[in-house]
Every structure is written in C-alpha cells, then in structure tokens.
Chains A and B, each alone.
Chain A
Amino acid sequence: MTTHTIGRASSLLALDGPAIEVKGLSFRYYTMEGQGRKWTLDQLSFHVDAGEILGIVGPNGSGKSSLLKILSGLLPVGEGDVLLGGLSLQKRSQADIARLVAVVPQEYVQVFPFTVVETVLMGRFPHRTVRWWSMGIGDETANDLACAHQAMVDTDVVSLADRLVSDLSGGERQRVMIARALAQEPKILLLDEPTAFLDINHQIEICSLITRLRAERRLTVVLVSHDLNVASQYCDRVLMLKEGGLCRIGSPEETIRPDVLRMVYGCDVVVDAHPQTGRPRVTMPMSTV
C-alpha cells in the first residue's frame, strides 16, 4: 500500500472511537550510558476520545513535553504502542502523521520577515501536490488558499494577514501558530503550553479559541499545561504525570484534588470550586511564615 492511500484511509477517523490509544508506552532518551538511565515515560496506557480535550499536567521534568512529542511522531515510540485513529504510529510516515496531527509549539521564533499569510500557508505543506517541474512555484491551489483563509477566520487573524510574524504580540503570534496548525486540516491538535508567556487577556482568548475550535471542527485536542487552572477549566479530562508515570487520569474533579496534588507536587494547595463553573480551582495557601 502506498503512503498516499494510507493518507486517504487514515483521514477517515471514526467519530466515536478513541482518536489516540496509548498502550504500555515507555520511552527514554538515548544516552551514552545506555540502558542504565531511568525511563522518561514509564508504562503509560490511556486513550483520548475523538472530540475530547485532554490536559496533561505534572511537575517540571515529569515527561509532559516528551509525551506530546511522541504523540506527534517527533520522538520515537520506545516500547509499547501508540495508535492514531486505530493505526499504529510506527506504521505511518511523518507526512502521513502530518495530515492527521498538527502541533502548536510552546514558542515560535521567526528570524526572517515572513508574513502571517505565508506562515499560515506553510501549514498546507503536508497536502501539497509535488510537481517537480514547477519547483514549488504556484503550488498553492485554490483549496490551499481557502483552507488557510478559513483557518485565519477561525482564529481571527485575517486583519493581520500581511503583517510580519516577527512584529506581532505574543497573543497574536500564538493565534497565528494555531491558524497554521488548523491549515493542516488535522483531526488531532496538540498544544504545548499554549498559554505560557501570555498575559491574562490573551490566556482567556486562546483558551476560549481552543474550546470553540473543538466544537466547530470536531477536533481532538491534547494540551500540555503547567497551569492547573487552565487544565481544570478548559479540559474534559486531565492526565497527571509524575516522574514519567501515569499518576491519575479522569475528570478535573477526580484529578485536581488536594490529596492528588500533594502526592504529585509534594505541597499543600487550596482547592475550592470555581464560582462560575464549579470546577476545581487551585490557589496557593496562606503563607505560613
């Protein structure tokens, strides 16, 4: 079977079945010492339903970003298996994964003067038709432009179209990066710390955007956040990692609890109910000194 036909088949993700299945996943970075090093991720098993928003939380170094990179094929599956839409990640090419999964990186630095439109259109790269004689010139089809345009409408960056990405504010740039990911027409959207480095107004903006996109585009979303309140307010389920192991997975009420947080982070926090949503809200305790 050619890559092309796999690509066609895989884009038809079953809408009710799990979008992502992780089975006994273990991973460690290759080091010169070899096998002595401890696992970055240890025996993880969970699934993400189609159309769900899953938040991955945990202390620094608990393997959150590594897990996200494995889900997008940027790091190899060490042991175990990861299935995207029922097909193993190892059986998919990087280009095939790119038509299914889009990644919004934590930070985006562009040193060259690319405009917003040019950046968003790069999201169409996995869908391009290769015509060797054209040398890539004029490869953007009407469909590519329409997809990019829709992605920019959805993220409200149309007015920024001809601005340089390097001139944008943090919140605007994050929206452009989400537009770039949406132009890929993914079924699964992975975000690494989407609200880090953003002011509170932009944090709200990005979180509402993610919730809206999930509804409008039937996206499956996995986001990594160090902000427990973001995970609690905006995610359907929360996966808590501790030292590479799966500590707890479930609804925010099941996971964002003082006893669980004490076990994972080793400190006491105040957890009460959010006045509007009733979901758990984490705040720092009164200083004891």
Chain B
Amino acid sequence: MAHIVSSWAHAGSVLTVHRWITVIGGLLLACVAVLVLCLQFGATSVNIGSVVPAIMHLFRGDLAGSPSPETAETIMVQIRFPRVLMGFLVGGSLAAVGVTLQALLRNPLADPYVLGVSSGSALGVSLAILFGIGSTFLLFPLLPLFGFAGGLLALILIYRLAQSKSRLPIHSLLLAGVILNAILTAFIMFITSIMEPNRSAGLMAWLMGSLTAPGYPALGIFSLYVLFVLAVLMHKAQLLNVLTLGEETARSLGVETEGVKKHLFALTALLTGAIVSVSGMIGFVGMVVPHAVRLLIGSDHRLLLPASALVGGMFLALADTIARTIMAPAEIPVGIVTALVGGPFFLYLLLWRKDRML
C-alpha cells in the first residue's frame, strides 16, 4: 500500500498535501518578490531600501501621524502599495474566473473577456453610472452589484448557446462569445456617446481596463470580498475536476450537476462583477495564465485554481507596472498591455496548437 502511494506521489500524478504546500508556498514567496519589485518602479523611482520600511510603517498603522512624511514614503504608502495590491487581487480573480469557466464549459480558451462576461458586467456598471447610481468613485457598493447582474446574464446567455446542442464545438462557443461581446460593446458605446464628454472620457478610460489606487477602506472591503469568493471557489475545486469528465459522467459519479453549475455561475459572476467595477475590462489574463500554469503543474483544479490565482496576481501586477512606467509620467491602460501579451498567445493557441488541445 505504502509502496503504491509513494511511487505515485513521486510521479507527481496524485495531489498530495506535501506537493500542494510546496507549489503554493513557492508561489507565495515569488509573489512577495514580485510585489516588492513592482513597488520600486513608477513615475518616481523609489529605492528598494525604502520599500520595506514603508510597508512596515503601513502595518504599524502610524502613517497618518508620521512625524516626517517623506515624499517617497507617501507615494509608496498612499498610492503605489494599494494600487499594486489591487492589481494583484484583480489579476488573481481574473485567473480564477478563467479556470472556473474553462472547466465549466470544458473549453481551454474560455475567458471572461473573450466570452463577453466582462462586457456584460461593464454594461451593467455603465448603466448604473448613466443613471447616476453611484458616483465616479468606482467602489460604490452598488456598482459591483450591477456588474454581477450584467455578468450573470451574459454568462447564462453564453451557456444557453453552448447547450443548444449536446456538444458545441470549441470554435462555435468562441464565435458566439465574439458576437455577444460585439453586441454588448455596442450598447456600452451607445451609453458613452450620450454622456457628457468629460464623464464619457472617464468611462472610456475605465472600460479599457485600468487600475487606480483605492483608499484603504475600499481596498479592505474589496480584498475581503475577493478572498471570500475565492475560498468558496476553492471548495468546489474537486467538483471542477469531475465536471471536466463531461456533465453526464459527473452525474454518474454522484454530482448534482445542476446545483453545482448554478453555484459556479453565481460565483464567477460575483467575481467578474467586482473586478470589472474596479478595473474595467482587462482581457486575456483569465485565459493565458491558467493555460501556462496547467502546462507546468497539470490540470488538478485543487492545485490549478490557487496556483493560477497567484500567478494571475503576479502577472497583472507586473503588467500594471509596465503600464505605469513605460510612458511615464503618463500611464497607459493596463488592459492594453495584457491584450498585447495575451492576444498573440491566444492566436498561437488557436491556430498552431489546435491539434494538442482542441
């Protein structure tokens, strides 16, 4: 017995607690390194030596009453740290949503942006802004709710399209997503066109996918929300594994698939709504990151989901650092950076690796 266990464990085919902790622990260390790196760069360069003390100050909570607030430290604490953390949370959530959608739709190219789920959320948020629900401050609690509603509707629509025949080819689903995306984007464009120019400019910048530095209370609420949904998703990871066998096989293994699917839809829409309401439409993170992680550590969702979330966080934090610095002091929307990295990768997968994965 022990022989079987150990020989399989060494082959890396059975997910042991030891392997899980090793991979996730390693990624957590990498995350810390990446975050420290990202904090250094920006319109104002900050010496690495001052990054750590600034964070220490932050955790001691003595910022406001800090006797000599140096400029560098202020930038670090008030702007850069919350923004990098925000990028990390958004990237992680996008990757987690991507992993979940891919398993649910059994399609390795599924991504909230490509399938139009992000557009659905964005339309919900745009409508809320148009009718003056919430303010320009994008973390007003109602906006994620509208994002959730819009994302959920888009998700259900896409799923119905995928369900119309018992088996929908991967390309047809993508095509349906592209069309849905186009229609939803048209509505969003319509909304921006009837707004006053100064408001629509802000909306456009947000739509392109951009991160801002939130205040600490907002960041705290957002972190708790995201971490809670991710923890619930993590509890469904084993079910995601079984769902990839196909819906009927999953049911023959005792999974009440209808209920599970509804939960997963709601969870992905909750995350997408929150992400879109704070950062607009950031594309391809949800597709590129899970794919790369899957190649490295395999498909077991109990490991894939948290690992993708961590890698997605690092990826977006780095992408945002590029977006902040490449045209400094001006910034470009981070969505442009992720699209420029992710788009070609997506095409590569679609065109040259189809034999392997489709």
Output the nearest chain B residue to A96 by Cβ-Cβ distance.
B254
Contact of B15 among A98, A132, A137, A184 (CB under 8 A): A137
Contact of A98 among B13, B14, B237, B252 (CB under 8 A): B252
Contact with A along B1-15 (1 / 0, CB 8 A): 110110010011111
Query: Is A243 close to B, CB under 8 A?
Result: no
Contact with A along B260-300 (1 / 0, CB 8 A): 00000000000000000000000000000000001100111
Query: Is A108 close to B, CB under 8 A?
Result: yes
Contact of B11 among A109, A111, A122, A162 (CB under 8 A): A162
Given contacts A74-B252, A115-B13, contact A136 B302 (CB under 8 A): yes
Query: Is A89 close to B, CB under 8 A?
Result: no
Question: DSSP class of B's interface residues: helix, strand, loop or mixed?
Answer: helix
CB of A33, distance to nearest CB on chain B (Å): 19
Query: Is B189 close to A, CB under 8 A?
Result: no
Query: Is A94 close to B, CB under 8 A?
Result: yes
Q: Which residues does chain B contribute within 8 Å of A118, judged by CB atoms?
A: 13-14, 241, 298-300
Contact with A along B148-182 (1 / 0, CB 8 A): 00000000000000000000001000000000000
Contact of B13 among A139, A142, A161, A166 (CB under 8 A): A161
Size bracket of the B interface:
35 or more
Query: Is A112 close to B, CB under 8 A?
Result: yes
In the assembled complex, the Cα of A275 lies from the Cα of B8 at a distance in Å of: 46
CB of B244, distance to nearest CB on chain A (Å): 5
Size bracket of the A interface:
35 or more
Q: Which residues does chain A contribute within 8 Å of B195, judged by CB atoms?
A: none
Q: Which residues does chain A contribute within 8 Å of B102, judged by CB atoms?
A: 112
In the assembled complex, the Cα of A96 lies from the Cα of B254 at a distance in Å of: 7
Evaluate contact between A111 and B357: CB separation under 8 angstroms: yes
Q: Which residues does chain B contribute within 8 Å of A117, judged by CB atoms?
A: 8, 11, 13-14
Q: List 15 A-B contacts (CB under 8 A).
A: A96-B254, A101-B252, A103-B249, A105-B249, A109-B106, A111-B108, A111-B170, A111-B244, A112-B294, A118-B298, A122-B253, A135-B235, A137-B20, A138-B16, A140-B15
